[in-house]
Amino acid sequence: MGKGAKRLQEKVMASFVVRIMYEAGNEQIPWRIIIHHVQSGTVYHLTGIDKIPSLFQQIVEKEKALAHNKVIPLDTRKI
């Protein structure tokens, strides 16, 4: 980028619907977590609350990569 050029700040929007259910008496898998990623329509099924942050991170990183391919630079100059 040339001197004085402005950098675009990346923003990635990701929306989720999260349903967390506890099944008393089920020692093997007491938690059922269903996560719906609104933008893609993908539904994820998890068996532990501790897995939610890493799943969100994976989804957001994937969205960033897709968004990066769609960015059109605003600072275009004819050379």
- pTM score, whole prediction: 0.60
Alpha carbons 76 and 73: distance in angstroms, whole number: 6
Q: Is residue 36 part of a domain?
A: yes
pLDDT tens profile 5-53 = 444 556 667 788 999 998 888 888 888 899 998 888 999 999 888 888 9
What residues contact residue 3 under an 8 Å CB cut-off, 6+ apart?
none
In a domain, 61, yes or no: yes
How far is 9 from 78, CA to CA, in rounded Å?
23
Assign 4 a pLDDT band (cuts: 50, 70, 90). very low
User: What domain range includes position 40?
Assistant: 16-70
Residue 79 lies inside a defined structural domain of this protein: no
Is 78 among the domain residues?
A: no
Asked, for residue 57, whether it belongs to a domain, the answer is yes
The amino acid that residue 58 corresponds to is Q
Place of tokens 């990346």: 10
Per the structure, the count of domains in the chain is 1
Query: Per-residue confidence at 54, pLDDT binned at 50, 70, 90?
Result: very high
